[in-house]
Chains A and B, each alone.
Chain A
Amino acid sequence: MSQIRNILLVDDDADLRLALKLALEAADYLVVVAASAEEALLLQRRRPADVLVTDIFMPDGDGFEVIERFRREFPGTRIVVVSGGGKRAKQDYLVVAQLMKVDATLQKPFEIQALLETLRSL
C-alpha cells in the first residue's frame, strides 16, 4: 500500500474545514477541501485524493449518497466518516456508515491524534 498523501476533506462548516485542513497540513498531508458533495466530486475528478474525509451531513446532499458515488467512481479511495450525530436522538449515522463498510468512522469532536492514527492505519 502506497503512502497516503492526498486528502479530500468535505464538511459544510467552514471553520471546522479550515481547522482540520491546518491540522492535517501540519502533519504533512496535502489537503483539498470541499463544502459540498458536488464540489467534492468535481475536485476528485480533477485530481483524485487517496482518502475522503467527509461529514455525514451536508447542505446539498445526503452524506450516504456521497459515499456511494465515491465507491462507484473511485473504488480505490479510502473513506473516513466523521459525524456530529443525527437530528433524531436514536439515529446513529456512524453505525450506518460502518454497515456501508467505510474504512473508518470518527465521532465529533475527536482528538487530531486519533484522526492521524486512523489515517496512518489505512
Chain B
Amino acid sequence: MPLKAYLVSLTLAALLPVAIFAGVVAYFLLAEQRETFRQGAEARTLAVSTAVDASLNGSIATLLALATVPALEQGDVATLRDRAHRILATQPDWSNINLALPSGRQIMNLQRPAGAPLPNIAQFDPLWKPAVEARQPFVSALVVGPVTGQWDYAVRVPVIRDGSVKFVLSAVVKPGSMSRLLEAQNVPPDWVAVVIDRNNRIVARTVNPQASIGQLASQSLRDALARSPTGWFHGSTIEGTVVYTPYRRSDSTGWAFAMGIPAYAVDAAASYAAWMLVVGLLGAMAVAVAAAYFVSRGISTPIASLAAATDAIGRGEPLHIAADPTISEVRTLAHALQESARAVRERQELLEREKQALQAADRAKDEFLATLSHELRNPLAALTAAAHVLKVSDPSREAAIKARAVIERQTRHMARLIADLLDIGRVSAGKVGLERERLDLAQVAGNAIRTWRGSGRFERHRVSSQLAPVWVDADRTRIEQIVANLLDNALKFTPAGKAIWVNVHAEGDGAVLCVRDEGVGLLPEETASVFDLFVQGSHRQGGMGIGLALVKRLAELHGGTVWAASEGANRGAVFTVRLPAVPEPPVQSSAAPVRRAGGLSVLLVEDNDDARGMLQAMLASSGHEVRVAQDGASALALAAESPPDVALIDIGLPDMEGYEVARRLRAERGGRRLGLVAITGFGRPEDQERAFDAGFDAHLTKPVTAERLTQALAGLP
C-alpha cells in the first residue's frame, strides 16, 4: 500500500471520532433548539389564548353592566331596550342583544320590533339549560343565528335577583372580532393561527379566514384536544400542510387557540445547521485528505527518488540526489546511501586496483619464470658442452683445461644466481640482518675487480678503476654483492671492446660507488624502473631483473640510495650507489694476521664425494694436513685417534646431524682449542644461529669457494 494511502487513511481515522462527536453535539443542539422553539411557541399560544379569553370576558363584563339597569328589575322593557340599543351601538362586533326568561322564552330582541314573535333560545342552544342552572355567564358555540342567519356566537349572562335566575341577557357577537384579534398577533404569513369554539368549529383563522369560519378544525387538532386540553403535536392542517402545533383550550370559555407552524419552519434552522455541519465536515475531510496527499507527496517523492538513485550503487556510480531532502530522516537516509555508494565505489576501485596489481604480479611472475629459465639454460648448455669436452678429450690437453675453467665459472655464476634469488626474497621479507663492520669501500671494490680480472671475466672489455679510500659501516658480504651485481650488469649490457669505469670516492658525508659503461644505455623512462624486481628495459634483454633490484634494496638496508642515469639508448649508463660515510678507524698494529695460512690439521666430514674431493683439494693446496670422513661416527673415531685443529662438518650427514658431531667433538675437547666450521646448503639466519648454538665458530654455505674457505679458516679463534 503506498504511503499516500496510509497518510490519507490516517487523516480520515483521526477525523472520524471528531465527526462522530460533532454529530452527537449537533443532535443535542438541534434538540435544544427545537425545544426552545417549542417553548417560545407555547408561550405565544398561551398569550393569544389569554387574549381570546379576555375578549370574551370583556363582552361578559359589558352585559353584566347592562344587567344592573333598574329598568330590568322594574320590568320596563322599553327603557331597557333603549339602553341596550345604546350599548349595541358602542360594540361594533355585536350584532344583537336579547333578554330571555330562564326557560329560554325571549322577551326582548333588538333585531325584532317589540311584540314580534321570537324563538325559544333553549331549543337551539344546548348549553342553555346547564348554564342557567349553574348560574354562571357562558359563551355559546358558533351557530348560524336564527335571527341573523350568519355564523355568530352568543355571550350570555344570567341575571340573579333574590337568589334565583330571573332573566338571561345575551349578546350576539360576530366572529370578525376574533379575526381581528388574530390579525393583531402578527403571525408569520405561512403559519396558521386558529380560534375554535367548544365544538371545535373554527371561529377565526389567519389562513382562508372567510371559507374556514364554521368549518370543523383539522382532524389532528381535534384528536389532540381530545387527548389533552393543552399541548404540542405534529400533524397537518385542513389544507394538508405539515405543521407543528401548540394549542390550548380555555377552562373558562371552553374555546381553544392553536398555532400551526409549518414543519419546515421548525426544521429549517435545524436542517440548515445540519447541512452546514455535514458540508463543513466533508470540507474539512477533503482539505485534510488533500493536505495528507500533498504531505505524503513531500515524503514519498524524495524517498522514491532515493530508491531510483540507489540503482547507481549497484552500478558502482556516485549517488546523485537532485535536492537535499527537507525531512531530516530522509536526509539522514540519503546521506547514509551516499556514504554506502561511496564505500561501494571505493571497494570496487580497490578491488579493481588489486586485480590489476595481481595481474601485473602474475605477468611479472610469468616473465620472471621465462627469464629464469633462459638464465639457467645458457649456463647449463655451457656446462653440458664443457662436460662433453672433458669426456672426449685428454685431460692434459688445453681444451680440457679450458672446459674445466668454463665449468668453474658457470657453477660460480649459477651459485650467485641462486644466492641472489634467495637473497632478494629474504631482503624483500625483511629477514636479512646486517653484520656491520667498519670497512673501506674502495678496498672492497678493488678486491672484487682483482678477483674478476683474475678469473678472466673482463677479457672482452676495457675495465678501469679509480678508487679513493672512504669508510662505511656495512656488511662486507652485502657490499661485495652490490659491487658484483653492478659489475655484472655493466658486463652484460656492454658490447665487447667497450669500456667500463669503476669509481669510489667521498662526496660530502657520503661514500659513492659509481659504475659507468659504454653499453646499450637506458631510455629516459627506464632509469627509475630498472631497479624494480623482474623489470627489464625493452631493449635490455637477457638479464634476470633481480641484480639491480637487489642492489637497490641492499643499499637502502644500509641507509643508502642508488640511482641510474643515461644519455639514452646506446649512449652508456651510470649506476651510482651512495652510502653514509663514517670516519676512518684507528690503525690496528695486529691487523688480523692469517694465522692459519697453512699447516693445520683439518678433519673434513662430508658424505658427498664431489664436494669432499673439491674441498680436500682446496685445503691440501693451501698446505693443510687433511683427513676425511664420510659420516659422523667415523669422524668422531678419527678425532679420538688424533684431535684436529679444525673440523669442517657438513650438516646433512647420513648417520647423524652435523650439529651432533660438533657437540660431541666440542665435549671431548675439554679446554683444547678446536675450530669448528659448518657447511650447509642453506644460508638463512636461523641456520647460522643453530650452527652457532651447536658450537660452530663459522658457517659456510655451499658452494664453498677457495676464497671463502680461506677467510673462514683465518677468522677462527
Residues on A lying within 8 angstroms of B by beta carbon are 12-16, 18-20, 22-23, 25-27, 35-36, 57, 59-60, 82, 84-91, 107-113
Contact = CB atoms under 8 A, between A and B. Distances in A.
Given A84-B377, A88-B370, A89-B369, A19 B385 contact: yes
Contacts of A12: 542
Main secondary structure of the interface of B (DSSP, over half): helix
B454 to A, nearest CB: 16
B385 A85 contact: no
A16 B385 contact: yes
A16 B378 contact: yes
Interface of B: 366-367, 369-371, 373-375, 377-386, 388-389, 392-393, 399, 402-403, 406, 409-410, 413, 460, 493, 495-496, 520, 536, 541-542
Contacts of A87: 367, 370-371, 374, 536, 541
A23 B388 CA distance: 7
Contacts of B493: 59
Closest 10 CB pairs of A and B: A19-B385, A84-B377, A109-B380, A108-B377, A112-B388, A109-B381, A89-B366, A16-B382, A108-B381, A89-B370
B382 A19 contact: yes
Nearest to A59: B495
Contacts of A84: 373-375, 377-378, 381
A82 B374 CA distance: 12
Contact of B406 (A19, A82, A90): A19
B374 A109 contact: no
A19 B392 CA distance: 13
Given A16-B378, A59-B542, A109-B377, A86 B385 contact: no
A12 B540 CA distance: 13
Contacts of A26: 388-389, 392-393, 399
Contacts of B406: 15, 18-19, 22
Given A87-B370, A87-B536, A16 B381 contact: yes
A23 to B, nearest CB: 5
23 contacts: A12-B542, A16-B379, A16-B381, A19-B385, A22-B389, A22-B406, A23-B386, A23-B392, A26-B389, A35-B460, A35-B496, A84-B373, A87-B374, A87-B536, A87-B541, A90-B366, A108-B380, A109-B381, A109-B383, A112-B384, A112-B385, A112-B388, A113-B388
Given A18-B402, A60-B495, A89-B367, A23 B385 contact: yes
A85 B384 contact: no
A15 B389 contact: no
A109 B370 contact: no
Nearest to A26: B392
A26 B391 CA distance: 10
Contacts of B413: 15
Contacts of A110: 381, 384
A57 B542 contact: yes
Contacts of A19: 381-386, 389, 403, 406
A60 B570 CA distance: 10
B542 A111 contact: no
Of B367, B403, B495, chain A has the most CB atoms within 10 Å of the CB of: B495
A80 B490 CA distance: 30
Nearest to A86: B370
Nearest to A84: B377
A55 to B, nearest CB: 9
A13 B491 CA distance: 11
A86 B409 contact: no
A12 B496 CA distance: 9
Contacts of A15: 379, 382, 406, 409-410, 413
A85 B382 contact: no
Nearest to B493: A59
Nearest to A112: B388
Contacts of A108: 377-378, 380-381
Contacts of A111: 384, 388
B34 to A, nearest CB: 106
Contacts of A25: 399
Contacts of A35: 460, 495-496
Given A15-B410, A84-B373, A109-B383, A23 B389 contact: yes
A12 B406 CA distance: 15
Contacts of A82: 381
A42 B392 CA distance: 32
Contacts of B496: 35-36
Contacts of B403: 19, 22
B399 A22 contact: yes
B389 A85 contact: no
Nearest to A55: B378
B385 A22 contact: yes
Nearest to B400: A22
B117 to A, nearest CB: 161
B374 A86 contact: yes
A36 B386 CA distance: 22
A24 to B, nearest CB: 9
Contacts of B536: 87
Contacts of A86: 370, 374
Contacts of B375: 84
Question: Which of A23, A27, A36, A86 is the most central at the interface, judged by chain B CB atoms within 10 Å of its CB?
Answer: A23
A14 B460 contact: yes
A91 B382 CA distance: 23
Contacts of B371: 87
Contacts of A18: 382, 402, 406
B68 to A, nearest CB: 157
A81 to B, nearest CB: 13
A46 to B, nearest CB: 18
Residue among B374, B382, B520 with max Cβ neighbours from chain A (10 Å): B382
Which of A12, A60, A87 has the largest number of chain B CB atoms within 10 A?
A87
